[in-house]
Amino acid sequence: MDIFAYALQMELDGEAYYTELAKHAGYKDLEVVFMDLAEAEKRHYEVIILLRQVLYLRFPMSLLFQMNSKKNRRIGWLNGKRNSLISIRRLF
């Protein structure tokens, strides 16, 4: 599971959790709070999808997995270099 799949699942789980809490809140005001939190989880889910799309447009998966090639050493942010953020910024 990649980081995006994990984050998306966390948001879905959070939405389900807050929705369930809202059903059993017992007070209308508390139900509204939990439903607002569930809606926030939905928005987070949409933001993560957009971030994933932007990242995959910038860094195609075939590019991300070519870390050991000398030709692609500039993008080697997974190979433990200390200048990993600089390497990523150069691609933008």
Q: pLDDT tens digits, residue range 18-65?
A: 999 999 999 999 999 999 999 999 999 999 999 998 888 777 655 555
Regarding whether 79 and 47 lie in a shared domain, the answer is: no
Regarding whether 80 and 52 lie in a shared domain, the answer is: no
Yes or no: say if 74 and 90 are a contact pair by the CB < 8 Å rule.
yes
Regarding whether 88 and 48 lie in a shared domain, the answer is: no
Regarding whether 84 and 53 lie in a shared domain, the answer is: no
Regarding whether 47 and 70 lie in a shared domain, the answer is: no
Regarding whether 66 and 83 lie in a shared domain, the answer is: yes
Regarding whether 44 and 11 lie in a shared domain, the answer is: yes
* pLDDT-based confidence at residue 82 (cuts at 50, 70, 90): very low
Domain count, the chain: 2
Regarding whether 13 and 41 lie in a shared domain, the answer is: yes
Residue span of the structural domain in which 34 resides: 1-58
Predicted confidence at residue 84, as pLDDT, reads: 44
Regarding whether 72 and 53 lie in a shared domain, the answer is: no
Predicted confidence at residue 25, as pLDDT, reads: 94
pTM of this prediction exceeds 0.85: no
Burial class for 50, CB neighbours closer than 10 Å (0-12, 13-18, 19+): exposed
Regarding whether 52 and 11 lie in a shared domain, the answer is: yes
